[in-house]
Amino acid sequence: AQSVTQLDSQVPVFEEAPVELRCNYSSSVSVYLFWYVQYPNQGLQLLLKYLSGSTLVESINGFEAEFNKSQTSFHLRKPSVHISDTAEYFCAVSDLGDYKLSFGAGTTVTVRA
């Protein structure tokens, strides 16, 4: 199983500032990569995913993540955050054909006005 490291447990950020959440995983075999978001007292919602193709993937609400195979990373970025982006963000990885997800410990993003 993959080991997933999210390098920051807490990220405070001001509204309209950029944010980057870092994610590294352990194995360089073919993988599926995901970012999930969890708002307070809710379940996990998919934010974006990499299955194949372009290494830069985007979400509908302005987030993007880039798959870097050589560095085994899948960092998440947003150029300008909103108060509503306050949530916990989880990076998840599964090996190709496995489908079981390994999760990072999560990064709590708190956006302040």
Partner 1 sequence: NAGVTQTPKFRVLKTGQSMTLLCAQDMNHEYMYWYRQDPGMGLRLIHYSVGEGTTAKGEVPDGYNVSRLKKQNFLLGLESAAPSQTSVYFCASSAPGKGYTEAFFGQGTRLTVV
* Residue 8 binds partner 1 (CB under 8 A): no
Going residue by residue from 45 to 84, which x/- string records binding to partner 1, judged by CB under 8 A? xx--x-x---------------------------------
H helix count then E strand count, the chain: 0, 12
Out of 25, 63, 67, 90, the residue judged to bind partner 1 by CB under 8 A: 90
Question: What is the C-alpha separation between 4 and 72, in angstroms, rounded?
Answer: 10
DSSP assignment of 19-44 equals EEE-EEES--SSEEEEEEEE-TT--E
Minimum separation from the CB atom of position 44 to partner 1 (A) = 4
| CB closer to partner 1, 15 vs 49 | 49
